[in-house]
Amino acid sequence: MLCSILILLFTNVFSQDTTCTYFTNKIVHEFNYYTSEILNTSENEDKYYDIVVKYGDVLCLDLNDKKNKYRKVTITFFDGSTKTQKLKSKDHYYYTPRGTINVRVGKPKLIIM
């Protein structure tokens, strides 16, 4: 009995969900990582696309722009700190680190300053 309670407690405390956001040029698909069910499809006309990540979850960022380009990606952590990176966006995927609460993805560009 005690073992069952500890297992239940452990799995609830350390469980996480993984979502995926797929970028191809201006089209953005958000889908369930495990079932591949598309949750949302939109066209991004803005300079940046913001993705809210529930605390404790992981985001799979799939960049597939079909050409050798880069995207500026800024990750915001739960403590307010940020990390900005230039990521290759021709058929690459990335996973967010623990503590991520927001991901801001820029439009594809040949060179990012």
Count of domains in the chain?
1
**What pTM does this model have?**
0.80
pLDDT digits (tens, 9 = 90+) for 12-50: 444 568 889 999 888 999 988 888 889 999 999 899 999
pLDDT for 33 equals 83
| Distances, alpha carbon 66 to alpha carbons 17, 23, 108, in Å | 28, 10, 10
> Is position 99 within any domain?
yes
Four-CA torsion 113, 48, 66, 27, nearest 10 degrees: -170
> Is position 113 within any domain?
no
> Is position 3 within any domain?
no
> Is position 7 within any domain?
no
> Is position 8 within any domain?
no
> Is position 111 within any domain?
no
Q: Would the pLDDT of 4 be above 90?
A: no
pLDDT digits (tens, 9 = 90+) for 52-107: 999 889 999 999 988 899 999 999 999 999 999 999 999 899 999 999 999 999 99
> Is position 1 within any domain?
no
- Three-class SS state of 11: helix
pLDDT for 61 equals 94
